[in-house]
Amino acid sequence: MSAREHFAEHRRFYIGISSVIVLVLAWELILTYIFPVNPFFFTKPSLIATAFKEQIQGAKLWHDLAVSSQAFIWGFSFAVIVGIPVGLVMGWRRRVEYSLDPFLTALYASPLVALAPLFIIVFGVGVLGKAALVFLLAVFPFVFNTFAGVKSTDSLLINVIHSFGGGEKDLYVKVILPSTLPYIIAGARLAIGRGLVGIIVGEFYAASEGIGFAISQAGDTYRLPEMFVGIIILSLIAVALTELMRKLELTIAPWRAGEEVR
C-alpha cells in the first residue's frame, strides 16, 4: 500500500489529528508572541504539559481519580440495573408507562444538578452522595432509550414469535431485548456524559478529594495548568468510555454494522 493510499484510507484520523495539532500550536504561539498574558490569569499548552508530567508522576492525581471512579462506577452501575428494566417494562406495559410518565418527564426535563445540595445532605459528602447524584443523572437516558427501543420493536417480529407459539418471556428474550440493545448503548453514551457531570458537580459542591475537587481547588488557587490537567483527563476518560461503547455495540450487535450509514 502506497503512502497515498494509506492516507486516503485513514483520512478521518489524519485530518482530525492535524486540526488538534494546529489548534494547540496556535494557542501556544499566540500566547507566547502575540498576547503574552500573565500566566497567573491564563495558561498555554507548554505549561499544561509540564504540569501534566508532574501530576501523573505524583500520587495525588491517581488518588483523586480512584475516589471519583468509585462513585462513578457505583452510580452508573445502579443506573444500568434500574434504568434498563424500568424502560423495558414501561415500553411493554401501557399501564406502567402511563403511571411513570409524569415523574420521568418532569425529572428528565429539569436541571437535576439543582438537587445536588439535597443529595449531599441526605447521603453525605462521601462516595454515597456522589454515587447517588451520578445515578440520578445517568438513569434517565437508560430508561428513556430502553423505552424508545421497546416502542420501536418491529411488530412483525412480535407476530412471528406469537405465530410460533412463543410466550411473553420469548418475546422479551428473543425480540425485544436484542432489538432494544442498540438504543440502550446509545443511552449509555448519553449517560456517561451526564454521570461525569454528576461527579464533578458533587465534588465542586462538597468534597475533600476527587478529580472534581482537584479541578475546583486548582482553579480557586489560580493554578491554571493543574486545572487544565484535570479537565483534559476528564475529557480523555469521556472519549475513551464513549469509544468503548461504540466497540461494545459492534461486538454485541454485529448486525448493526451492516445497517449503519456513515
Binding residues for another protein, rule: CB under 8 A, are 156-157, 159-166, 170, 174-175, 178-179, 181, 253-255, 258-259
Contact present, 145 and 184 (Cβ < 8 Å): yes
Nearer to another protein by Cβ, of 159 and 208: the residue is 159
Nearer to another protein by Cβ, of 111 and 167: the residue is 167
Task: State residue 221 phi and psi, 5-degree precision.
Answer: -105, 20
DSSP summary character for residue 30: I
CB contact set of 5 (below 8 Å; sequence gap of 6+): none
Nearer to another protein by Cβ, of 102 and 167: the residue is 167
CA terminus-to-terminus distance, the chain: 24
Nearer to another protein by Cβ, of 60 and 162: the residue is 162
**What's the min distance (Å) between Cβ of 259 and another protein?**
6
CB atoms within 10 A of CB 42: 12
Nearer to another protein by Cβ, of 143 and 181: the residue is 181
**What's the min distance (Å) between Cβ of 188 and another protein?**
18
Instruction: Tell me the residue type at 22.
Output: V
**What's the min distance (Å) between Cβ of 162 and another protein?**
6
CA dihedral 40, 45, 46, 47 (to 10 degrees): 30
**What's the min distance (Å) between Cβ of 145 and another protein?**
17
**What's the min distance (Å) between Cβ of 146 and another protein?**
16
